[in-house]
Structure 1
Amino acid sequence: MTCELKHVFASLPQMERGVAKVIGGDPKGKNFLYTNGKCVIIRNIDNPAIADIYTEHAHTVTVAKYTPSGFYIASGDVTGKIRIWDTTQKEHILKYEYTPISGKIKDIAWTEDSKRIAVAGEGREKFAAVLLWDSGSSVGDLAGHSKIINSVDIRQKRPYRLVLASDDTTGSFFEGPPFKFKFTLRDHGQFVNCVRFSPDGSRFATAGADSQIFIYDGATGERISSLGGEKAHKGGIYAVSWSPDSSQLISASGDKTVKLWDVGAGTAVTTFNVGSDVTDQQLGCLWQNDHLLSISLSGYINYLDKNNPDRPIRTVKGHSKSIQCVTVHKSEGRPYIYSGSHDGHINYWDAETGENDCFSGKGHSNLVSKMVVDKDNELVSSSMDDTLRYTNMDKKEYSASDVVKMDVQPKSVSVGAGGLSLAVCIDQIVLLKDKKKVFTLDSLDYKPEVGAIHPGGSTAAVGGSDGKVHLYSVQGNTLKDVDKTVDVKGPITDLAYSNDGAYLAVIDERKAATVFTVADDYAVKADFYGHHAKPVILAWSPDNEHFATGGMDMMVFIWTVSDSDNRIKLPDAHRLHHVTGLAWVDEHTLVTTSHDACVKQWTIQF
């Protein structure tokens, strides 16, 4: 029995309102990279469904940049730690690790020979440092600012020049190496958010919260011009990126636009209108080869189209917050993966290509706790916004009418034949038929955690924090307590019937998985042990002979019902992140989701 990683559908960048996001470009022109949580995500620029994830940081990563040689990436985190690691090997072996400043790293720059690295950000005694990449020894003193430094860049040819941009409304110009302070740039009236040298080194640009962009001489630091006269944008500018030929640049702004500038003329050639919603604010951009990329506050990555500035060529969507649940459904023979996240966002993915989108309209406003597909081709989702939603999977649109408001927060939902749904809420069990509440059980003498309706439709099993499965008979529109419970080892975290209804699998906080034979009056078929920490999710394979469990130990196990010793272990399925969702595309393909906001598919061979 073996398993190997088949696909990674990567997370979007993690965004924060009013905070610029740096996108790094591969000098070879193939990839771009950004950060989300503890992960650095590397994506193919021509086909962003192809992705690789670096997960060796112990703390939230804030910025990552390629070396000009393209062989290494430097990534910095919120503690001031910088890791320099290999891009050519799959394992991404660590080359060096330093802590040059004592706070969040906001930007990184390299000299063109890939030997010196500058970092800038927040710190206690200093806000920036420049060092030799192989020894970590300092090659200059980057003092002179009194507040956080937002951006740093180094001229990509000799003589080297280094420029910093800070929250204290100034920039500073250094000559070197070793880098020595030359003078302060005092043209901006607000925070300076970004500084970037042109690829040929002849000029550099600074952009700020005062909606202005200034162009300076790359060798002397003298101011040459400003773009767009008085104001370049109607809102603060968070990022600029130069064209490969150094004649143009793009700027990303909080006014929800990206502008393409002719630097010589000082005028905007094109204005890209990305949208009108607050989540359409533009917080990052990258010009790589022919690709113009920008990042919205929503985390969406826009491929801008010079010929049609009001509509991107493509928008890369996905999740930027942790995924909480996942399910799979076939539509016209093609398998689709549906994932729901912490912020109420539901995304669907073509399991083969990774093409993805989200439902249109207004959906959940809080964490999506569970999703299942019913016989009417509807996605039934429960959320911490105290609702159940029924969403037509062909229309791909939220319906305002197909929402059921619950009295208390639902934790779990399952579906059965005849239009039935079972919602397990805090201290309450609700039976629904045809999207309407028909029966409620409260005043229970145990705390219900999760429920499942038997595929035959006659029985409902509810797992409680008392370590028991409580069985109910489904009689028309009511649930009748049959006065039967099944004991497991500890408080129940998840349970599910096999697709053919022959077995019930239960996992509990005592790290055990137990399978019961339904026809044999729920006699224990087998117990399964392997998790080091609480398992939280389980999913049956379509073959009814295997099931998968995932837990807070970051592991996934695939168990064989007839042989409890015969198992597959996926250690570090999502490194440093708990497994939150499991679903089977087919009997040899397992989908896993996690707090890292990524969706992974694994090929399983029995």
Structure 2
Amino acid sequence: MSYELKRVFASLPHMERGVAKVLGGDPKGNNFLYTNGKSVIIRNIENPAIADVYTEHPHQVIVAKYAPSGFYIASGDVSGKIRIWDTTQKEHLLKYEYQPFGGKIKDISWTEDSKRIAVVGEGREKFGAVFLWDTGSSVGEIVGHSKIINTVDIKQTRPYRLVTGSDDNCTTFLEGPPFKFKCTMSDHSRFVNCVRFSPDGNRYASAGADGQIFLYDGKSGEKLGTLGGEKAHDGGIYAVSWSADSTQLISASGDKTVKLWDVGSGTAVTTFNLGSDVLDQQLGCLWQKNHLLSVSLSGFINYLDKNNPDRPLRTIKGHTKSIQCLTVHNADGRLNIYSGSHDGHINYWDSESGENDEILGKGHSNLVSKMTVDDAGRLVTCSMDDTVRYTDLSKREYSASDMIKMDMQPKCVSVGPGGLAVTVCIGQLVLLKDKKKLFTLDSLGYEPEAAAVHPGGGTVAVGGADGKVRLYSVQGNTLKDDGKVLDVQGPVTDMSYSKDGAFLAVTDEKKVVTVFTVADGYTEKNEFYGHHAKVVCLSWSPDNEHFATGGMDMMVYVWTVSNPDKRIKLPDTHRLHHVSGLAWLDANTLVTTSHDACVKQWTLKI
């Protein structure tokens, strides 16, 4: 019994309003990279469904950049640590780690020989450092600023020059190596967000929150002019990126546009309009070979189309916040994965191609706690916004009429045949049928945590915080307590019937999974031990002989019902967080999600 990672559908970049997002590009032009939480995400530019995630930082990572050789990546986090790691091996072995200053690292630049690195950010005594990549010894001083430095770039041709931009509205120009302060330019009237040299080294551009882009001579630092006259954009500019031939550049702005500039004439050739919503502000951009990318405040990555500036060639969507639950649905032979996140977003993914989009319209406004698909092909979701929603998966659009308001916050929803559903709310159970509340059971005498409706529809099992499972029968439009109580080891966290209804599996806080045989009057079949911390989720394989569980110990186990010792252990499925959701695509493919906002597929050899 073995396993291997089959696919990763990566998270989007973590975005903050008014904060520039640095995108890194691979020198060969095949990949681009960005950060979210403690992860660095590397994606293939032609097929972004191909992704790799680096998770070795102990703190939130802000920026990552490829070395010009393409063999290493340097990434910097909020604590001021720089990690330099290998890109060629799957393990991404750490080469060096440095702490150039204490505080958030905001930008990184390498010299073209991949030997020196400049880093800038929010230090305490100093805001930047330049050092040799293999020894960490200093090759100059970054001085001349009185506030946080936001951006740095090094000229990629000799003689080397280094330029920085800061919250003190200035840029500084340094000559080297060793890098020495030469002069300060105070042309901007607001924060400087981005400075970038052209690939040929003849010029560099600086862009600021004042909506202006200035051009300077790459060797002397002398001012050459501006782009777009008085103002390049109506909003602040967060990023610029040059074309490979150094004749054009793109700029991304808070005015929700990206502009393509002809540097020689200083005029905008194309203006890409990316929407009218606040979330359409453009906070980052990258020109990589013939791809023009920009990142919206929503986290969406846009592939810009020079021939049709009002509509991107494609937009990569996904999650920026932690994923809380998932389910799988087979529509006409295509298997789709549905995932719900902390901010109420629900995304769907084609399990083969990774093509994804979000459900249209106004959906949940808070964390989606549980989701499942009923036999009518509707996605049934419950959320901390105190609602249960039914979404028709053939339309994939929210509708206000399909929302049911609950009296208490729902924690869990389970569906049965014929439109039947049971929602567990704080202190109550609610029976639903065909998008209507039929019956509410209050004053239970215990706190319900999870429920499972038997595939036959007649029985509902409810697990409580008191470590007991109670059975209820569905009689007409009511739920009746059968008086039967099953004991498990601790407070129930999740439960589910096997697809054929033969078994009921229950997970609890005491690290145990208990399986009951339904036909024998719910006698205990087996207890499964292996987790080192509380078990939080479980899912049955379509073969009814195996099921998977995920725990707070970051482990996923795949168990065999008839033999508790026959199991597959998947350590570190999502290295930084426990698995928050599990689902099976088929008897050999398991899908996992976690708070790293990624969706992963695993091939199991059972």
Fold in common (TM above 0.5): yes
Partner of 2:581: 581
In structure 2, C-alpha distance between the alignment counterparts of 1:414 and 1:496, rounded to whole Å: 9
Partner of 1:164: 164
Partner of 2:137: 137
In structure 1, C-alpha distance between the alignment counterparts of 2:59 and 2:535, rounded to whole Å: 24
Partner of 2:232: 232
Residues 118-139 of structure 1: CA deviation (Å, up to 9, x unaligned): 0011111111000000000111
Partner of 1:276: 276
1:187 and 2:187 aligned: yes
Q: CA deviation at 1:147?
A: 1.1
Residue correspondence of structure 1 range 59-458 to structure 2 within 5 A: 59-458=59-458
Q: CA deviation at 1:533?
A: 1.1
In structure 1, C-alpha distance between the alignment counterparts of 2:35 and 2:165, rounded to whole Å: 21
Q: CA deviation at 1:559?
A: 0.2
Residue correspondence of structure 1 range 3-82 to structure 2 within 5 A: 3-82=3-82
SS at match of 2:153: strand
Q: CA deviation at 1:576?
A: 1.5
Q: CA deviation at 1:32?
A: 0.2
SS at match of 1:401: helix
Q: TM-score, normalised by structure 1?
A: 1.00
In structure 2, C-alpha distance between the alignment counterparts of 1:417 and 1:8, rounded to whole Å: 33
What letter is aligned with 2:410? P
Partner of 1:547: 547
SS at match of 1:521: coil
What letter is aligned with 1:392? D
Q: CA deviation at 1:443?
A: 1.1
What letter is aligned with 1:200? D
SS at match of 1:140: coil
Partner of 1:571: 571
Residues 309-332 of structure 1: CA deviation (Å, up to 9, x unaligned): 000000001111100000000111
What letter is aligned with 1:390? Y
Q: Which consecutive residues of structure 2, in runs of 5 or more, have no partner in the other structure? A: none
How many residues matched?
606
In structure 2, C-alpha distance between the alignment counterparts of 1:427 and 1:255, rounded to whole Å: 48
Q: CA deviation at 1:417?
A: 1.2
In structure 2, C-alpha distance between the alignment counterparts of 1:148 and 1:475, rounded to whole Å: 67
Q: CA deviation at 1:460?
A: 0.4
Residues 212-245 of structure 1: CA deviation (Å, up to 9, x unaligned): 0000000000110111111110100000000000
Q: CA deviation at 1:72?
A: 0.3
Partner of 1:490: 490
SS at match of 1:279: helix
1:476 and 2:476 aligned: yes
What letter is aligned with 2:461? A
SS at match of 1:395: coil
In structure 2, C-alpha distance between the alignment counterparts of 1:493 and 1:307, rounded to whole Å: 53
What letter is aligned with 2:191? F
In structure 2, C-alpha distance between the alignment counterparts of 1:533 and 1:163, rounded to whole Å: 50
In structure 2, C-alpha distance between the alignment counterparts of 1:234 and 1:409, rounded to whole Å: 44
What letter is aligned with 1:293? L
What letter is aligned with 2:193? N
What letter is aligned with 2:177? P
Q: Which consecutive residues of structure 1, in runs of 5 or more, have no partner in the other structure? A: none
SS at match of 2:279: helix
What letter is aligned with 1:491? P
Partner of 1:530: 530
SS at match of 1:268: strand
In structure 2, C-alpha distance between the alignment counterparts of 1:310 and 1:9, rounded to whole Å: 27
In structure 2, C-alpha distance between the alignment counterparts of 1:119 and 1:477, rounded to whole Å: 66
In structure 2, C-alpha distance between the alignment counterparts of 1:585 and 1:203, rounded to whole Å: 53
Q: CA deviation at 1:88?
A: 0.5
Q: CA deviation at 1:551?
A: 1.2
In structure 2, C-alpha distance between the alignment counterparts of 1:569 and 1:583, rounded to whole Å: 16
What letter is aligned with 1:206? S
In structure 2, C-alpha distance between the alignment counterparts of 1:68 and 1:208, rounded to whole Å: 26
In structure 2, C-alpha distance between the alignment counterparts of 1:98 and 1:533, rounded to whole Å: 34
In structure 2, C-alpha distance between the alignment counterparts of 1:296 and 1:531, rounded to whole Å: 40
Q: CA deviation at 1:476?
A: 1.2
In structure 2, C-alpha distance between the alignment counterparts of 1:34 and 1:589, rounded to whole Å: 28
Q: RMSD between aligned alpha carbons?
A: 0.6
In structure 2, C-alpha distance between the alignment counterparts of 1:570 and 1:127, rounded to whole Å: 42
Residues 8-52 of structure 1: CA deviation (Å, up to 9, x unaligned): 000000101110000000000100000011110000000000001
Residues 72-116 of structure 1: CA deviation (Å, up to 9, x unaligned): 000000000000000011111100000001001000000000000
Q: CA deviation at 1:567?
A: 0.3
Residues 283-336 of structure 1: CA deviation (Å, up to 9, x unaligned): 000001000000000000000000000000000011111000000001111100
Q: Return structure 1 stretches of 4+ with deviation > 6 angstroms.
A: none
What letter is aligned with 2:522? Y
In structure 2, C-alpha distance between the alignment counterparts of 1:489 and 1:144, rounded to whole Å: 64
Q: TM-score, normalised by structure 2?
A: 1.00
In structure 2, C-alpha distance between the alignment counterparts of 1:208 and 1:442, rounded to whole Å: 59
What letter is aligned with 2:530? G
